[in-house]
Amino acid sequence: MDDVPDDDQKVLDYNAWLFWERADESRQQAQRARQEAIGRQCGATLGPRTFISELAMVSPTALTLGANSYIAAHAYVTGTVRAGDDCTLNAYSVVRGTVTLGNGVRIGAHTSILGFNHSFAPDRPVFRQAGTERGIAIGDDVWIGSNAVIVDGVTIGSHAVIGAGSVVTKDVPDWAVVAGNPARVIRDRRTPKATSAGDRGRGPARRLAELAARAGDQAPALIARCWEPDAPAPDGTTAGRYLDAPGAAPTLRAHADAVEISVLLHASAPEQLPAAEHIRRLRQNQDPGTGLVPPLDDTGRHGAAPTGYEQSDTHYHILSLGYALDLLGSRFAHPITAVARMTPQDIVATLEGQPWRHAGWAAGAGVDTLGTALMWNLKYRPEDRAAALTQYHTLFGWLHTNCRPESGMWTGGRPADGMLQAVNGYYRAARGTFAQFGLPVPHPEQAVDTVLRHAADERHFGPGRTTACNVLDVAQPLWLLSRQTGHRQADIRQWADAQLGTLTEQWVDGEGFPFCLPPLSGPARPAHRPGLQGTEMWLATLWYIADLLGIAESLGYRPQGVHRPEPAFDLRG
């Protein structure tokens, strides 16, 4: 839609997703006034970056619209309508009666969702008969094609797809793809459609679906394999701890990885502890003075209190433990004070002090931690919003100013390892900033060229050399950049397709994925053997690769923690 002229108001009414990016201040003020008027009319609750077209007929009894949701031109909305985040009512759609939408419900044009009905006994005209209203409930992540009709009393499960033109008269289960009049289930969304009579889906999509099913079935066992029930926990007062793999040194990240895997594949905390105890153990690792989380010492106990942000061995815990707590519906017990107290000058000094010239990955990791710590502070401490936004403006200003226009990177290449440090550092820096907040990266086409050039460097990819880190650091940037540009899409798909044949064969039953793919001679060191870190990272990486090929739905999961594709926080909301 980049070629759509902005001077025609109707463009933004029909293409509502463009409104807050393209509308001038007068249009934005008019939209705020419209939302305030609707709020006065029915006590509406409207989340950030919602949009209600002036051309839409919106006269509800009660209305809730979550963040980033919109009602486009000529939609007709009445009754009690409650919609979650990222919901879309496209042009000419009708939503009336009692209708509840989860998060991520996408409603195609000319669709009717009618949460009420008429009686039609033969004793009097229909228009004189009493109405009924059982209501319609629609789960999360549902796609409703254009011209569909959904009648009163229907419940549609999460992740379902309603084919264009369908008439839905009965409940639809989770993950179902339905079509027809009346609509019927034609397949499970997690089971890829066969491409021909001779190929019953035995291609990449089928392999992904089969792998995801195995991973889901085996997740409890592979997590239990890494649990030491009798070993002392880091606080020394309780028993039980997670290791990355049997025999590995105890780490806090292992606990976070166990939570990520369990929530990803089973939407629940690992079964070794009640959810509340997982939360307690993760929260009590934080140093209240700095808000940082020290690594464990040689005995597996809590290490000494961190000295400050400059202590890099505390950094990844801000990501891993922070997101594990977030997945469990909790958060850190204390603000990340070591970052909250930074002035803009401190942030610039911190960025300038990163080892960009010789260690791009370490520099990018420092930025990732800085951006994530600022995010947790802003998300959970709204009273400090003004100061935090000043810090963000400084951070993003520096990153934009110092990004190299010829490569899209913040670090140059080296003869010793090519673009390894540059690309790995790019992933970490962009993940914690641009990706985490849904902002466009600078110089996207040049970045695509650089990442693909690195992906062809055989020094870092092949048996015994390919690591989850190196492939994720290619897959996620290509996915992120593809949201901004169509540059070299054929090359990106070719790279992604080449990964699947190898990666889907690396799963070890009951144990998961190794962090580093073993050489042809077999595992030779600990990184070649399956563990929680390798399993968590490869599951996320496979999702990005699959989505580059348009077959991510075959996996039946979507990363939600450290490696989530959606922004974690909207700075503009």
Q: Which of 377, 370, 235, 396 is nearest to 314 (CA)?
A: 370
In the DSSP assignment, the letter for residue 296 is B
Residue for token digits 């993003």?
396
Q: What single letter denotes the amino acid at residue 11?
A: V
3-class DSSP state of 530: strand
CB 103 within 8 A of CB 86: yes
Give phi and psi for 153, each to the nearest 5. Answer: 90, -5
CB 250 within 8 A of CB 227: no
Active-site positions? 118
Task: Provide CB contacts within 8 A for 486, sequence distance 6+.
Answer: none
In the chain, what are the helix, strand and coil shares in percent, each to the nearest 5? 40, 15, 45
Q: What single letter denotes the amino acid at residue 561?
A: G
Task: Provide CB contacts within 8 A for 116, sequence distance 6+.
Answer: 79, 96, 97, 98, 131, 132, 133, 152
- Residue 296's DSSP bridge partners are 302
Task: Provide CB contacts within 8 A for 29, sequence distance 6+.
Answer: none
Retrieve residue 85's tokens: 């985040």
CB 441 within 8 A of CB 481: yes
CB 171 within 8 A of CB 155: yes
Give CB contacts under 8 A, 24+ apart, made by 20-24: 20/49, 20/51, 20/572
CA gap 325, 319 in Å, rounded: 10
Burial of 405 (0-12, 13-18, 19+ CB in 10 A): exposed
Residue for token digits 């791009």?
360
3-class DSSP state of 503: helix
CA gap 304, 166 in Å, rounded: 62
Task: Provide CB contacts within 8 A for 561, sequence distance 6+.
Answer: 259, 260, 263, 264, 323, 324, 326, 327
CA gap 283, 260 in Å, rounded: 16
- Residue 323's DSSP bridge partners are none
Give phi and psi for 92, each to the nearest 5. Answer: 70, 10
Retrieve residue 546's tokens: 């699959």
Q: Which of 371, 320, 329 is nearest to 567 (CA)?
A: 371
Q: What's the gap between Cα 343 and its chain centre?
A: 30
> Helices 360-380 & 344-352, crossing angle to 10 degrees?
160
CB 538 within 8 A of CB 215: no
